[in-house]
Amino acid sequence: MYFLGIDISTTSSKALLIDGQGEITGVASTPHTIQSPYPLWSEQDPQEWWQAITDSIRKVIAQTNVDSASIAAIGLTGQMHGLVLLDEAGEVLRSAILWNDQRTQAQCDQIHQQIGKQAFLQITGNLSLTGFTASKILWVREHEPEVFKRVKHILLPKDYIRYRLSGGFAMDKAGGSGTVLFDLAARDWSNELLEDLQIDLAWLPSTFEGPKFTGVVSDSAAGATGLKPGTPIVAGGGDQAAQAVGVGAVEPGIVGLTVGTSGVVFAPTSSALIEPEGRLHAFCHVVPGVWHFMGVMLSAAGSLQWYRDKLAHEMDFDTLLEEAKSAPVGSEGLQFLPYLSGERTPYPDPLARAGWIGLAARHGRAHMTRALLEGVSYAFRDIFSLIQESGLREIHQVRVSGGGMKNAFWRQMLSSVLGNDLVTVNTTEGAAFGAAILAGVGAGNWGDVPSACQAAIKITGTTVPDEREHEIYQQAYPIYKALYPALRPSFRMMNDLTEKTF
């Protein structure tokens, strides 16, 4: 018995097969292109996703030599917040507007003015941001009325693939909450918001918990993909929630932390907690009856990548970090703010800027490298502090993933900054693996999502805080925390000067 995980990410469509023990037997991926016809726009053609995922499914079946009849269920995941519009015949009306599209600030402001910022936050658990789906719908209504009057179905990217696979319309509750048209506590569409924003409920699909079946593979989709007709498809979930399943962050107290180009902290909660100022995202988890907080920093390992590429291009990363060990803990007072691309959590500020603060003649490259790693680690602590202040008091275990956490030195530093044990696990395929796990739960191979994770995910290592380092970081962190508020007015003046100069 096998389970297929499908991941429609921004850059590629991935198909991953696992067996009944949760072991990965094959992975295949096909790339996408992104279009940016105007500044701030980011779009993709949904037909390209379909072509890419049919290729990937056929590749993984061929590479593993698995009989498609032995694939017991399929799970879906993918990029969140994107807008796919279909007409009455199920045809795509325009290119999908993606999560990283930034054209809708005016519509976000309109939503807050119309609903009330705090009222919207209390219903959805989030503020209306340009990345989310709701403002994209309003933008199409305002700027493309001829398209809008033909809308009959509103989907997320992975749910368009669900439609192509099964002919049916459905959405998982994690993805639905990411549209910010959900009543977070009720785990379903908010009739109040839809009525106020004049969005027809009939356009939105029914929503399902992650492991629940939503349909089966149609005859036509079977012909295109090589799958068996009638293969069940579970709801699945958005990429971050499926990634959390992939590392076992599926119950309160176990937190997922990813150090990629950006950094993500994913913290399951037992109720629909809301950060009072909306500085954390609050969504439904793919696990029935579980929600989560999510904080995102924009330049995590991306800060190190920038530093190495721009200032130490002759060195590889291992050599650069080995040299950083020669600098003392706390970098002799040197601090680094990692806001190379602005920031998202806890400061939703596109004008925030990066920099070293406290440079003295005694500092060298080793100090600058170590300070950068410490600055990124402090930024993660900012997110952890916000999560704990918002109601999740106990964090028992932090499960880490991403390229940045492959380095033992940085992993030890982050553990000491946070004051938490960090554990690594045996899974590296993230969201697609999580989607396959959800398919296995739906098919009855495992009783529920936590027991599936216990069976399939193994801890491969544990890093514990160094007491001496932790004490020093306890003294250094308040200095870091005070820097952004002090520098915020300067960031704005810098931006104004840049606009005048260029």
| Structure confidence at residue 412 (pLDDT) | 98
| Structure confidence at residue 500 (pLDDT) | 79
DSSP 449: H
Instruction: Go through 12-46 and write b for each residue having 16 or more CB atoms within 10 A of its CB, e for each that does not.
Output: bbbbbbbbeebebebbbbbebeeeeeeeebbbbbb
CA–CA gap between residue 490 and residue 295 (Å, rounded): 25
For residue 269, the SS3 value is: strand
Model confidence over 217-255: pLDDT tens digits? 999 999 999 999 999 999 999 999 999 999 999 999 999
Average pLDDT across the chain, whole number: 96
Give the strand pairing for 291-297 and 263-269.
Answer: antiparallel
Angle between helices 449-456 and 430-442 (to 10 degrees): 120
Instruction: Go through 214-243 and write b for each residue having 16 or more CB atoms within 10 A of its CB, e for each that does not.
Output: bbbbbeebbebbbbeeebbbbbbbbbbbbb
Q: Which of 239, 421, 448, 496 is the catalytic position?
A: 239
| Structure confidence at residue 399 (pLDDT) | 96
How close are the terminal C-alpha atoms of the chain, in Å?
61
CA–CA gap between residue 486 and residue 480 (Å, rounded): 10
pTM of the predicted model as reported, rounded to 2 decimal places:
0.94
Model confidence over 272-326: pLDDT tens digits? 999 999 999 999 999 999 999 999 999 999 999 999 999 999 999 999 999 999 9
Strand partners, 267: 293
Report CA-CA distances (Å) from 473 to 310, 355, 478, 480.
28, 19, 9, 10
Q: Which has more pLDDT, 56 or 428? A: 56
CA–CA gap between residue 405 and residue 408 (Å, rounded): 7
Share of the chain above pLDDT 90, in %: 93
| Structure confidence at residue 148 (pLDDT) | 98
CA–CA gap between residue 115 and residue 195 (Å, rounded): 11
Instruction: Go through 186-212 and write b for each residue having 16 or more CB atoms within 10 A of its CB, e for each that does not.
Output: ebbbbeebbeebebeeebbbebbbbbb
Model confidence over 99-124: pLDDT tens digits? 989 899 999 999 999 999 999 999 99
Alpha helices in 33-87 (DSSP H): 46-64
Largest CA distance in the chain: 71
CA–CA gap between residue 416 and residue 404 (Å, rounded): 16
Residues of the chain with CATH 3.30.420.40: 2-235, 248-502
Residue 73 token pair: 């269920």
Asked if 247 contacts 437 with a C-beta cutoff of 8 angstroms, the reply is no
Across residues 476-491, what is the average pLDDT?
A: 97
Whether the predicted pLDDT of 198 surpasses 80: yes
CA–CA gap between residue 138 and residue 144 (Å, rounded): 10
Tally of CB atoms within 10 A around 303: 26
67 as an active site residue: the answer is: no
Q: Report CA torsion sign: 39, 41, 42, 46.
A: negative
Q: What does the H/E/C string look like for 271-310?
A: CCCCCCCCCCEEEECCCCCCEEEEEEECCCHHHHHHHHHH
CA–CA gap between residue 286 and residue 53 (Å, rounded): 22
CA–CA gap between residue 393 and residue 255 (Å, rounded): 12
CATH 3.30.420.40 for domain 248-502, yes or no, is yes
Residue 193 token pair: 């918001």
Peptide bond before 338: cis, by omega within 30 degrees of 0? Answer: no
Model confidence over 132-142: pLDDT tens digits? 999 999 999 99
Across residues 433-455, what is the average pLDDT?
A: 98
Strand partners, 293: 267, 282
Phi, psi of 58 (to 5 degrees): -65, -40
Q: Which residues contact 221 (CB under 8 A, 6 or more apart)?
A: 164, 165, 166, 167, 227
> What homologous superfamily does CATH list for 2-235?
ATPase, nucleotide binding domain (3.30.420.40)
Model confidence over 23-56: pLDDT tens digits? 999 999 999 999 999 988 999 999 999 999 999 9
- Of 182, 253, 239, 190, which is closest to residue 210 (Cα–Cα)? 239
pLDDT confidence tier of residue 502, bands split at 50, 70 and 90: low
